[in-house]
Structure 1
């Protein structure tokens, strides 16, 4: 049950059934908790006041990485756990994650030197359990430049070549939620927990929920409630009682996207910025993106956006490491900004604050999952659901099984099968009236769910200025991925707003018209959704000339 058209039925069920667990928050943390809990035999309801993954979980650097920077800070446990978890994510969802060779150049006077880099990467490989084929290689200056000729040559001493894993953070979250829904979890986006409810003993026992799309309200009852609201966890805690002295400190991270015609980056690079921060530059689908900044942020998390100062900082960093490209604001096609929900540590700047996760429990029994990283979502979920299991002395739930559980679209015996699968689907696409190129793109993007998208595309056909391929994706997003607005589709179901910004802006009205038709929207509802989409476009627009 993961179709937008089934929302009324889902809300009715949510209001008449007592769940074992209510999860507040539909980012990667909440999604992981829902999947872990439902596969142990718990009945689960998850709600998010925005779209799934609309907060931090669609605005990261889009890497499932072992955290080399945390080794520098001697956070060995984080390096070890996240390093091992990234391989698990890859094996369970190869269509949304893939190994990415990363180049770490070192220059005279930089943060890393040859000996430190070699030793650090060796320790990193060991802690992260890196397989032999993916272990680090140390390179001479000449070898480093062969991999990436755009690099600054002055003072170059060499480089380290090691493996990270690239992902689509929002797609990963959606695939986790689809799997949770397949296993029986009830997941509702655009539904806000406005008030907690309590039993006769003062223990939290559910929440009053408001559907922000139609204004309807319902009460959800549950034996246990977990606050996994990411940057909003303190907001949710305020509905209960903040009974410890811990709280979040939000850190803002910004990325910029540039066409590879202007920035012909061959190789993902992790490099020093002028102020000593480490920055990523990563090629992806004909674009190169650069990030991230790391500054404290005190505004509303949902309104975070790149400023001219943020963009200029990243352009200066890129131009410093790749001096021949001469990038300017006019080259920035799109941006994204997100906030990291860090656990406050007095006196530390954003880059120094640990990315560790913690579970807080209030007197009412409300559990809060605070901090953490995208890479560690599965292990974080396992730990907090273990806590629920220990609480449930009168119930027997199964063990955690998510370590070897294929996510939606990831039903491969071995990740190496993906490329063969994609080529096979390119051939099959022609049977549905699609081109081989469209078939290849759909198979690579949706994995083993590609056949469903093919069937939707064949049924939809061309129309309204949209190809059958696009119409099929829209249909699948609504019926199979709970997309309820054009912004849901263009930002979180496809990522076009970031990596195909021109197409997103050009097709905004056609896609909005088609979704309005499919969702039976009144003119006022369609107008409201177009306004929301235009707001998202403004938030992610490049700052050309501004």
Structure 2
């Protein structure tokens, strides 16, 4: 079975009728990674997500799988070494969603990065993170720095450093991991909320009660163990269990803005100092746009809908105009934006940027396992840690034996392309194959670059859709049908935000084709009139929130 919206009722039946080794609460990158690791070891796995996959934090990051240069500044040497290693694994297992990107680190007089310390820092970073020879740091003089990015502020410029980060599509990384977990036997559903735990006679957790957020139906999923991987909602989920420790989360908010390259013609990714608080932020070119972020502020409001405020937008516009003074961007130049919350583990007295991004596994007296904190880059290793503990408990309590972790060399869905070094050749070969489906080269190249070894499925859809009369361009129609049949898209926002990223990087497509997309989805999925109107309003709200400065206090009033 695939992750098909059209098979939703069958998936629910499977969840009700079977008993599982583990049920995972949370369908972000952490939950997806756990589902893949556990199912690859041979465990019977269920996973529920109350919203859409990656809707919480895993679609709202800086979209970098990074080695953690900023952690070197905080002397978190172990974090740098681990994230560097994991970054290489993430890239190798899914080169269609992760791409190396040279990053420029300009150094100015009075800035936080001196030439000597930067050189030493980047050298240490290369060694700790096990960086490939071709991707190691280069130190640049002023002229070389400006040649890389002429827009960088010239006043006080001393030179720069160049190193490699990995750009990713965070939401697509999550869905590709989820699809591979499903291929390995996991039973997975979105828009399904865990309401409370069930217990056996010994007061041990043995399942969850679930409410389908679309139909309102409730049912029970039975499992030997339950893992809480709900990101920002970790504390809420745990509050339903009688066994609590004294740990808790501290949420911080990060905002990014998107500007068209006609207004901000950024040719090179840059990691730079802000003027006001010394925080370092990224400016990254992508798909004809430049996106800039992130802010870092404490947040205690609606977790499902953190918003970019006018203050956040002003901060980032000021940061751009400080480092790129000839650009002179204004608030009206912002095409789109997004905000996300980081679920960090509380450390009293620390500023948002100082709180560690480490992850922790907590085990309750009830047997509930919780994973908190962590980063996108470390998702596979986080899964390894908690599934190792899960396997140990299943062996002790149920005499069950499973294989060790095997995800290090396991491609995610779409990643069967012969390794990262072969990916360009793979694209060229598949583009040739697309001719047999009467698909032109630009569309074929887009499909293979984005979907990797799943491209053939989209070619088949595109071939039969050449004469569809929905009013949608072939590329949007093809991706929409594929995402409904294979990626559990149910709402228009699922498609426009998390499967395609169009709300952020191609907002004109959303504005121009939202009605047609809703019509196609309504017909295929059988929306009621009420649902259709609700989802239309939900999309309009998302568009408005992305385009404007919102009045949302950091703390709920």
Contact 1:458 1:472 in 2 (8 A): no
3-state SS of paired residue (2:424): helix
Residue in 2 that maps onto 1:328: 330
Deviates more, 1:209-218 or 1:531-540: 531-540
1:283 aligns with 2:289: no
1:169-208 equivalences in 2 (<5 Å) = 169-208=170-209
Aligned to 1:144, what secondary structure does the other structure show? helix
d(CA) in 1 for partners of 2:116, 2:377: 28
Distance in 2 (alpha carbons) for counterparts of 1:273 and 1:245 = 36
Say whether 1:516 aligns with 2:522. Answer: yes
SS at match of 1:457: helix
Alignment of 1:22-101 (within 5 A): 22-101=23-102
Aligned residue runs from structure 1 range 293-304, under 5 A: 293-304=295-306
SS at match of 2:377: helix
Aligned in 2, Cα 1:117/1:242: closer, same or farther, shift over 3 Å?
farther
Residue of structure 2 in register with 1:498 after alignment = 504
Q: CA deviation at 1:39?
A: 0.3
Structure 1 residue 209: Cα displacement? 0.2
Q: Partners of 2:523 and 2:432 in 1: how far apart? A: 31
Counterpart among 408, 415, 422 of residue 410 in structure 1: 415
For 1:319-468, what aligned pairs fall within 5 Å after superposition?
Answer: 319-393=321-395, 394-461=399-466, 462-468=468-474
SS at match of 2:58: helix
State the 1:242 CA deviation.
5.6
Aligned partners of 1:74 and 1:205: how far apart in 2? 41
Quote the RMSD (CA, aligned, Å).
1.1
Q: Is the 8 A contact 1:429 1:438 kept in 2?
A: no
Matched, 1:530 2:531: no
Deviation per CA, 1:349-371, whole angstroms, max 9, x where unpaired? Answer: 10000000000111101111000
C-alpha distance in 1, partners of 2:449/2:459? 13
Shift of 1:419: 1.6
Q: Residue 529 of structure 1: SS of its match in structure 2?
A: helix
Instruction: Please give the TM-score of this superposition, normalised by the length of structure 1.
Output: 0.98
Deviation sequence 1:303-353 (CA, Å, 0-9, x none) = 201011000000100110000000001110000000000000101110000
Contiguous gaps of at least 5 residues in structure 2? 551-557
Kept after mapping to 1: 8 A contact 2:243/2:366 = no
Matched, 1:241 2:247: no
1:474/1:489 contact within 8 Å kept: yes
Contact 1:434 1:469 in 2 (8 A): no
The CA distance in 2 between the partners of 1:187 and 1:486, in whole Å, is 20
Q: SS where residue 225 of structure 1 aligns?
A: strand
Return the alpha-carbon distance in structure 1 between the equivalents of residues 474 and 149 of structure 2.
39
CA contact (8 A) 2:104 2:162 kept: yes
Listed as ranges, the matches of 1:217-232 within 5 Å are 217-232=218-233
Could you tell me how far apart the structure 2 residues matched to 1:382 and 1:152 are?
A: 44
SS at match of 1:403: coil
CA distance in 2, matches of 1:327, 1:491: 25
Deviations 1:418-466 (A, max 9, x none): 2222233333334333321111111111111111011112223332211
Q: Which sits farther off after the overlay, 173-182 or 232-241?
A: 232-241
Report if the CA contact (8 A) 1:330-1:543 is conserved: no
User: Structure 1 residue 543: deviation in Å?
Assistant: 4.6
Separation in 2, partners of 1:458, 1:485 = 25
Task: Find the residue that maps to 1:63 and give its secondary structure.
Answer: coil
Q: Is the 8 A contact 1:457 1:470 kept in 2?
A: no
Look up the match of 1:254: 255
Give the C-alpha shift of residue 222 in structure 1. 0.4
8 Å CA contact 2:195, 2:210 repeated in 1: yes
* Partner SS state of residue 378, structure 2: helix
Kept in 2: contact 1:21–1:223 (CA 8 A):
yes
TM-score normalised to the size of structure 2?
A: 0.96
- C-alpha distance in 2 between matches for 1:190 and 1:163: 37
Residue 5 in structure 1 maps to residue 6 in structure 2: yes
Residue 553 of structure 2 is matched in structure 1 by none
1:48-92 deviation per Cα after TM superposition (whole angstroms, max 9, x unaligned): 000000011000000000110101001111111001100000000
Q: How many Å apart are 1:214 and its aligned residue? A: 1.0
Residue 517 of structure 1: CA displacement? 0.9
1:471 aligns with 2:472: no
Counterparts of 1:487 and 1:437 in 2: how far apart (Å)? 26
Q: Is the 8 A contact 1:458 1:468 kept in 2?
A: no
- In the TM superposition, 1:87-166 aligns within 5 A as 87-166=88-167
Which residue in the other structure is 2:489 paired with? 483
SS of residue matched to 2:21:
strand
Q: How big is the shift at 1:208?
A: 0.3
Tell me the distance in 1 between the aligned counterparts of 2:503 and 2:138: 36
Q: Distance in 2 between matches of 1:81 and 1:122?
A: 16
- Note if contact 1:205-1:223 (Cα within 8 Å) is conserved in structure 2: yes
User: Helix, strand or coil for the counterpart of 1:269?
Assistant: strand
Contact 1:18-1:220 at 8 Å conserved across structures:
yes
SS at match of 2:238: helix
409-418 or 39-48: bigger deviation: 409-418
Please say if residues 334 and 499 of structure 1, whose CA atoms lie closer than 8 Å, have aligned partners that are also in contact: yes
